[in-house]
Amino acid sequence: MFYLFKTLQLVQKIFPSYVWKKETKSKTIYLTFDDGPTPEVTDWVLKTLEKYNAKATFFCIGKNVVENPELVKSIVQKGHTIGNHTYSHLNGWRTSFKTYTADVLKAQTKLKSILRIDDPLFFRPAYGKITNKQAAFLQKEGFTILMWDVLSGDFDVNLVPEKSLKKVLKHVESGSIIVFHDSVKAKNILQYVLPKALAHWKKEAYEFLAL
């Protein structure tokens, strides 16, 4: 499995309409969690974030939202923000324009009905894979496409947790948007890395804000 822990500057320049990191003069990190909400895992994440007075953004899969509506509400009630991560976790590169955009809008409809909100949410494509045509449509609909500049690799079952922590601490800087996953698959690495990383950054006087 090939992936980069740090998104290349070249990639960020090729797709300037996507948000890769935030410009900030303060010591701020933007934590994000993909693929939830997941019972027990998301609950653990929320408790861990609260311990460090950290806010984050959760990019939720629509079908998981439908199955766990109270958990989604709990995320918002605790001061975090919600993003759309498609309804079915589709790979945009392998999905037709019509099917993909309908899937995203379906997730949006479910999120709005459960959270009682009107404004478009942030959107992050599953696997980070989306075509230019799909992206242009969603942006026209009012979505902000949020990517990342640091990937934790917690989804990689073959990755040693210590390596994930080392990479995360090495690459994160002020304004970084970092990806974790509140999923069963990522649970092992997530529960090792997240508290240790938060403790380290706290000592370095970083604050953790939602997007």
The reply to whether 181 belongs to the active site is: yes
**How far is CA 143 from its chain centroid?**
15
Q: Where are the beta strands (DSSP E) in the chain?
A: 28-34, 56-60, 81-84, 122-123, 144-145, 150-151, 177-181, 207-208
- What are the contacts of 135-141 at 24+ separation with CB within 8 A? 135/17, 135/18, 137/97, 137/101, 138/101, 138/104, 139/17, 141/105
Q: Which residue has the tokens 């073959």?
A: 158
The reply to whether 89 belongs to the active site is: no
Q: Which residue has the tokens 């993003």?
A: 83
Reading the block at residue 200, the tokens are 């380290």
**How far is CA 28 from its chain centroid?**
16
d(CA 156, CA 19): 24
d(CA 21, CA 19): 6
| Residue 88 · residue 62 · CB < 8 Å | yes
Marked catalytic residue, from 34, 35, 103, 182: 34
For 81-106, the DSSP string reads EEEE--SS---GGGS-HHHHHHHHHH
Marked catalytic residue, from 103, 181, 182, 200: 181
Catalytic residues: 34, 181
